[in-house]
Amino acid sequence: AFPALKNKIGFVVGLAAFVVLMVAPSGLDVQIRRTLAVLALCAIWWATEAISIYATSLLPAVLLPLLGILPLGEALAQYANRLIFLFLGGFVIARAMMKWGIDRRLAMLILGRVGGDSKRLVLYFMGLTAFLSAFISNTATTAMMLPIALAILSSSQLSAESRYGTVLLLGIAYAATIGGVATLVGTPPNVLLAGFSQSLLGREFTFFEWLKVGLPFAVVMLPLTWWFLWVTHKPKVTEIAGAAALDEEKKTMEPLALGGKYTIVAFVMVAVLWLTRPFWDALPIPGIELVQARFDDSLIALFCALLLFIVPTNLKKWEFPLVWADTRSISFGTLYLFGGGLALGKGLFASGTAQWIAASLPLSESFHPILMILVVALIASFLSEVASNTAVANMMVPILIAVATAIGVSPFLLAIPATLACSNVFMLPVSTPPNAIVYGSGKLRMSDMMRTGFRLHMIGIVVMTLLVYLITGKLFDVFPT
């Protein structure tokens, strides 16, 4: 009865917030009011699951054009964003791994290394995920790690909906986000800061300089997140009971079929291409300039996924590693979910709402530096929870550089915490691709992600503020004199 009551209350409150923001006089520009109304409706319905969250994700496609915030074509284009197809490619490869038992074999391999210690297994997964995310796409890393985690939960007779399953799956998503902060190439906001530093300030921001910024945050935040997840959810599982049984099963397992071998090739290919992609532009290979310019993570994922439908395993019987019927278990609703978040974020910027929020920052040169850092981090991080963190960084960093210049402080005092805060997103599936992917597994509840994510979000704000003030600020000499 309680979930039904929560759904009904959320439904009414969401509609009421939408109507009030649409008609109540506030002195705001009409476009900003309309955008805030759509944002409130979507946020409340997502949070309370008043209707299916996938159906809620289609609201921006309808309301943004109807209210004149975005042209129809531009709103719908967000649902075909390149990241959507990266998701799709990752989901298809993950489905092939499940079909041929690759995920189960990898689960056995990992369990063999960490034994039956359930707590250490989560730390192992989070550490490996964070390391990979520091160099390749957070989305790609999560897409690779999720099916392996699900296989371990299944193989060891643990329910993914259990507290332990929640800890493991959220741990993977959060570790991917945290790991991406560590290096300059780990996530787009970091690169944007370096670009704006060069173009607006004439100062080069090198890979190793960013390590002074991002690595301390990742090193502190990762074990803290692991501890926080364990303490918050209190899983009763201390040992992976199925580890010994899996060992026996490994001995009796039949040789891997040709379809499984092709799947491994596709998996390794996509991982290698994702990992090596940043270095391609440096290779002076004649005749491939066009490919280098267009071959991104999404294209890699789709290309490798398509090979599983194209390369036959048995010519005589005309069999392939995957057929389209195998995709029925893929959560296509997750693609709409992320598309809705992108459309909403686009509307925030097109209407001037995001700029209004940024311009409303209560900053003054009389403020203590730690207060400036805290204010910027709060605004940038919560804005990134409902809009693309790349878009938020793209908008906020140049504005903050201008604000800092106007009030007489170092631009890095505001730009660095804003950039870090754009990756401090843990609350919603639409906040960042890793969240969307683990939620798309169907094994997590929205309420678990929101409750856990909000508290972790606030912990991240505290960690970020202290580190920027105590370490990064002194290294970059950003404090007012």
Please write the tens of the pLDDT for every residue from 81-125. 776 787 788 778 878 887 887 766 776 676 667 666 778 888 888
pLDDT at position 73: 93
16 has a pLDDT exceeding 90: yes
Lowest-pLDDT range of 213-227, 286-300, 347-361: 286-300
343 has a pLDDT exceeding 90: no
Helix axes of 258-276 and 297-310: crossing angle, nearest 10 degrees: 170
pLDDT in tens, 168-198: 999 999 999 999 898 776 777 887 787 777 7
Within 10 angstroms of residue 92's Cβ, the number of other Cβ atoms is 23
Model confidence pTM above 0.75? no
Contact 451, 340 (CB under 8 A): no
Which has more pLDDT, 338 or 326? 326
Task: Determine what percent of the chain is predicted with pLDDT higher than 70.
Answer: 81
478 has a pLDDT exceeding 70: no
234 has a pLDDT exceeding 90: no
Contact 471, 216 (CB under 8 A): yes
pLDDT at position 481: 47
pLDDT at position 45: 85
Summarize the confidence of residues 340-356 as an average pLDDT. 79
460 has a pLDDT exceeding 90: yes
Banded model confidence at residue 301, pLDDT cuts 50, 70, 90 = confident
239 has a pLDDT exceeding 80: no
328 has a pLDDT exceeding 80: yes
157: left (phi over 0), alpha (psi -120 to 50) or beta: left
Summarize the confidence of residues 345-368 as an average pLDDT. 74
Banded model confidence at residue 364, pLDDT cuts 50, 70, 90 = low
Find which of 219-228, 277-286, 337-346, 462-471 is predicted with most confidence, using mean pLDDT.
219-228
Summarize the confidence of residues 133-159 as an average pLDDT. 75
pLDDT at position 444: 83
Summarize the confidence of residues 29-48 as an average pLDDT. 86
User: Rounded distance, CA 302 to CA 84, Å?
Assistant: 11
pLDDT in tens, 430-450: 778 898 888 888 788 888 888
3-state SS of the chain: helix, strand, coil percent to 5?
A: 75, 0, 25
115: left (phi over 0), alpha (psi -120 to 50) or beta: left
Banded model confidence at residue 363, pLDDT cuts 50, 70, 90 = low
Cα first-last separation, the chain: 60
What rounded mean pLDDT belongs to the chain? 80
pLDDT at position 199: 66
pLDDT at position 475: 65
Alpha carbon 366 to its chain centroid, in Å, reads: 36
pLDDT at position 383: 82
Output phi, psi for 239, to 5 deg: -130, 140
Q: Is 422 helix (H, G, I), strand (E, B) or coil?
A: coil
Contact 63, 38 (CB under 8 A): yes
Sequence-ordered list of residues with C-beta below 8 angstroms from that of 118, at least 6 positions apart, any chain: 164, 235, 237, 238, 239, 240
Closest CA to 380 of 371, 391, 369: 391
Banded model confidence at residue 241, pLDDT cuts 50, 70, 90 = low
Sequence-ordered list of residues with C-beta below 8 angstroms from that of 117, at least 6 positions apart, any chain: 238, 239, 240
Contact 225, 126 (CB under 8 A): yes
pLDDT at position 455: 93
Banded model confidence at residue 463, pLDDT cuts 50, 70, 90 = very high
pLDDT at position 1: 45
